[in-house]
Amino acid sequence: MHPRQIGVALALSLFAFTHASADALMDDDLRSKAQRAADSGMHYLRGTQAEDGSWSQSVGVTALALRAFLESHRAYKEDDGPFITRPIQFILDHVNPDGSISETNQNRNYNTAVAMSALQATGDAKYADVIANAQKFLRGLQLDDGEGYAPDHKYYGGIGYGGDERPDLSNVYHALEALHNTHVDRNDPVWERALVFVSRSQNNSETNDMEWAGNDGGFAYMPGFSPHGGAVSYGGMTSAGLLSLLFAGVDKNDPRVQAAHEWIKSNYSVDNNPGAKDNQGLFYYYNVFAKAMAAYGEPEITDSQGVAHNWRNDLGAKLIGMQDADGSWVNSQSSRWWEGDKNLCTAWSLIALNHIAAK
């Protein structure tokens, strides 16, 4: 098989994993509306794209926006024009000698990870070397014995932003998604080490050996800490934790997976980021919630009141209702974590819609 065909096949395989059976599981009329909302969102991004192809002069935001186009129901490709090729070139222009892909030292893991997923989504094998070097970079960020972290240390297996030595579950999730999307061998030790950190970020004393662990099954931002107080579990991190477990090959019946899913059921909401103050990280939550539920593979969620929800319909309707007249989305309640940036929130919303409504 020609290398380009191999790349396309891999991309289609990933697309099938994250969009499995969406056609049959979402209301037809609502799916049509969601796709029109996606078209409007992409039109907005076309209008805010800089001459150099970037969005918000950020590798991370640019990569997310590019992925939104590539994985949309329109299935845009490089031959569709400069609005696709320019952001790819912007990303490539920020490939560094150490394999990272970033315009800053502060967010190197995050930027590199989302850039890898965007390049993989092109289906073009010519980016294979860039992706392979980026994989090595992400592996090098993981804290383990090489950096003096013994397996019993709470940060063992974790990954931080790349300019901050303190790891967190969000950065681990982004790294694992990138490694999964670019097909890193499941036997690579990076997965097992990461699972140690992921498990220690969960409020599940059955599987978490840290003294602070509670028993609600949700996930905190890092072992023993949450930005919303104490080590409280919240929606964005619980979906990120569940997705990290699945990406690392943990069985769906594993107690860690089941505990996380039970937390999501008990705290089900598309109106807010459950457990988060002032709806901080709302669009991050929508994005990772859609990915996690698509990967988990159940069409409905039964909440704590026994009510069954078609989560695709619920999230699709919510995002459609929150879209501004110009086609964008933005967190009007909190600008924390860049959610005052319309380009970022729009890209995250589009990726969420792609996971629930793209054919």
Q: What is the pLDDT of residues 242-251, one digit of tens each?
A: 999 999 999 9
- How confident is the prediction for the chain on average, in pLDDT? 92
The confidence score (pLDDT) of residue 22 equals: 44
**Distance between CA atoms of residues 102 and 94, nearest Å:** 6
pLDDT confidence band for 313 (50 / 70 / 90): very high
- Per-residue pLDDT of 316-327, as tens digits, reads 999 999 999 999
In the 8-state DSSP scheme, what is residue 98? T
Q: How much is the pLDDT for 61?
A: 98
Question: What is the distance between the alpha carbons of residues 31 and 317, in angstroms, rounded to a whole number?
Answer: 9
> So what's the pLDDT on residue 336?
87
What burial letters (b/e) apply to 96-130, b meaning 16+ CB within 10 Å?
Answer: eeebbbbbeeebbbbbbbbbbbbbbbbbbbebeeb
pLDDT band at 335 (very low <50, low <70, confident <90, very high): confident
Pairing verdict, β 300-302 and 308-310: antiparallel
Instruction: Check: CB of residue 100 under 8 Å from CB of residue 108.
Output: yes
pLDDT confidence of 106, banded at 50, 70, 90?
confident
Does residue 15 carry a pLDDT above 60? no
Residue 58's DSSP bridge partners are 55
Nearest C-alpha neighbor of 93 from the set 68, 65, 64, 57 = 57
Q: Is residue 359 exposed (0-12), middle (13-18) or buried (19+ Cβ within 10 Å)? A: exposed
* pLDDT for position 164: 63
CA distance linking residue 286 with residue 290, whole number of Å? 6
DSSP for 187-221 reads TSHHHHHHHHHHHHTBS-TTT--STT--SS--B-S
- Please state, in angstroms and rounded to a whole number, the distance separating the CA atoms of residues 85 and 66: 9
Mean pLDDT throughout 133-144? 96
pLDDT at 207 over 70: yes
Q: What percent of the chain has pLDDT over 90?
A: 88
Average pLDDT over residues 343-353: 98
Query: Which phi and psi angles does 233 have, rounded to 5°?
Result: -75, 145
Residue 95: helix, strand or coil by DSSP?
strand
pLDDT exceeds cutoff 50 at 6: no
pLDDT at 163: 62
DSSP 113-172: HHHHHHHHHTT-GGGHHHHHHHHHHHHHHS-SGGGT--TTSTTTT----SS-SS--HHHH
Q: How much is the pLDDT for 131?
A: 98
Rounded Cα–Cα distance for residues 268 and 293 (Å): 12
Q: Is it the case that residue 5 has pLDDT exceeding 50?
A: no
pLDDT computed for residue 24 by the predictor:
57
Q: How many CA atoms lie within 13 A of 108 on its CB side?
A: 24
pLDDT of residue 101: 98
Read off the pLDDT of residues 151-205 as tens digits, 9 standing for 90 and up.
999 999 999 988 667 999 999 999 999 999 999 999 999 999 999 999 999 999 9
**pLDDT at residue 18 greater than cutoff 70:** no
Reported confidence tier of residue 258, pLDDT bands at 50, 70, 90: very high
In the structure, what pLDDT confidence band is assigned to residue 21 with cuts at 50, 70 and 90?
Answer: very low
Mean pLDDT within 23-50: 93
The mean per-residue pLDDT over the stretch 215-230 comes to 95
Q: Which residue has the tokens 């054919």?
A: 359
Angle ∠(168,174,178) on CA atoms, nearest 5: 145
Alpha-carbon span 268 to 265, nearest angstrom: 5
The pLDDT of residue 359 is 59
